[in-house]
Amino acid sequence: MKLYSTNNQSLKVDFATAVFNSMPLDKGLYMPVHIPELDKEFIDHIDQFTLSQIAFKVAAVLLKDAIPLEDLQAIIDDAINFEAPVVSLDENTAVLELFHGPSLAFKDFGARFMSRIMAYFLKDNEKTLDVLVATSGDTGGAVALGFLGVPHTRVTILYPKGKVSEIQELQLCTNGQNIHAVEIDGTFDDCQALVKQAFADEELNARLRLTSANSINISRLIPQTFYYFNAYAQLKRQGKEEVVFSVPSGNFGNIAAGLLAYKMGLPIKQFIAATNVNDTVPRFLETGVYETKPSVQTYSNAMDVGAPSNWVRIMDLFKNDKEALQQILQSYRFTDEETLSGINAIYEQFNYITCPHTAIAWLALQKYRAEHPDDNYTGIFLSTAHACKFPDVFPETIKANIEFPDQVKDLLAKPKKAQKMNTDYESFKKYLTTFY
């Protein structure tokens, strides 16, 4: 697979280069030069395949010239070792649960696949790969658990003191091995600034082989297509083939992967991008004006993004044809108050507890249905995280009924370890260079 930069289509790189660079120097995003389609025979019989088989088929059409197929199969089996079930709530509504991985969020798909791809391309005698991540919550846990024990890698995760939930913090601080957590006495933006400064520091880059693990990495996007195909397969088994996906969106990586799956031949009727009040995309689809804004804090904080970093990928998939995009993509935004009433309504109607991000996707599906009452389709909303990661949002009665998965029970028993630091860059640099 060759990839170009969305800012310069004549700049072409191979897959490994795109993986280690994350972003081209011209600050575009890497996109496949050619988007392959899956053969129709496969799509017509997709209901006969397992998640692992589907993941392999999809990855193979993209990556067959980058990774030998047996190696690709081994990477997939190791990375995607948990399920992504579609759970029916009523006749024509279902939830795609993407929180069964180690960090209890859909980011496990991307982070686990990326870590194994990076390790695969690293040669034995090369310098250790130093992954630096700033996190406001879910990314850090997925990356920490994704890279845990992966050879030739070391991960340093910066998180803002007192600003992540207890479970999120435990996911960062209880790993040991090659995972190091740094608690910054500051905000997420301070964490981000320290990481950015490290990437721009020539002296540091001469000493360490630094890489970022953020959501624009192409090796995070690819595995996120797998669960769209697999959800469609599950519905097909129930004789349902008209599907609308509603996706809780922040940086728009998740839904970009869905639209990529669509371009690769997955027959989807409609995508819905559900956002909180950080509504750059719904405003764009309504008015045609793309105007980013500073982010506003909400209950669905993993979607507090004013300038969605994967949006250019979506425009690129549709060759910047806004009308073509509007045919397949609708977008709605919801306030915190609506989010709470969504959580309550889902609990009352289905006895099902969703995280605040997931509740927004359900609300968006309801709104779409109100606008398209006669069509016959199954609405699937994506559940991007387990509710137990965001306990503070819930009313007491619901909170008391949140069940803790095994991954969490294990965490509570482990000792927590984080290096405390202020926002001074020199101390951070010293930490990175001296701790072995």
Ligand X SMILES: *Cc1c(COP(=O)(O)O)cnc(C)c1O
Binding site for ligand X (CB under 6 A): 105, 107, 138, 215, 248-254, 302-303, 355, 357, 384-385
d(CA 423, CA 414) in angstroms, rounded, equals: 27
Nearer CB in complex with ligand X: 28/248: 248
Q: How far apart are CB 257 and ligand X at their closest, in Å?
A: 8
Q: Which tokens belong to 242?
A: 């008209």
Q: How far apart are CB 422 and ligand X at their closest, in Å?
A: 27
Q: Rounded to the nearest 5°, which phi and psi values hold at 13? A: -130, 165
Nearer CB in complex with ligand X: 116/313: 313
Closest CA to 379 of 96, 98, 51: 96
Nearer CB in complex with ligand X: 72/221: 221
Radius of gyration of the chain (CA): 21
Nearer CB in complex with ligand X: 58/72: 58
Nearer CB in complex with ligand X: 384/428: 384
Nearer CB in complex with ligand X: 160/253: 253
Q: How far apart are CB 348 and ligand X at their closest, in Å?
A: 22
**Helical H segments across 35-165, by residue range:** 40-44, 51-63, 69-79, 107-121, 138-147
Q: How far apart are CB 262 and ligand X at their closest, in Å?
A: 16
Degrees (nearest 5) of the Cα angle 32, 247, 341?
Answer: 165
Q: How far apart are CB 385 and ligand X at their closest, in Å?
A: 3
Q: How far apart are CB 171 and ligand X at their closest, in Å?
A: 12
Q: Compute CA distances 78 → 295, 371, 388, whole Å.
A: 36, 42, 26
Nearer CB in complex with ligand X: 94/281: 281
Closest CA to 105 of 373, 408, 409, 429: 408
Degrees (nearest 5) of the Cα angle 356, 384, 144?
Answer: 110
d(CA 352, CA 344) in angstroms, rounded, equals: 9
Q: How far apart are CB 275 and ligand X at their closest, in Å?
A: 9
Q: What is the largest CA-CA distance in the chain?
A: 64
Nearer CB in complex with ligand X: 165/251: 251
Contacts 24+ apart (CB under 8 A), 367-372: 367/332, 368/244, 368/246, 368/270, 368/272, 368/330, 368/332
Q: How far apart are CB 419 and ligand X at their closest, in Å?
A: 24
Q: Which tokens belong to 27?
A: 């600050």
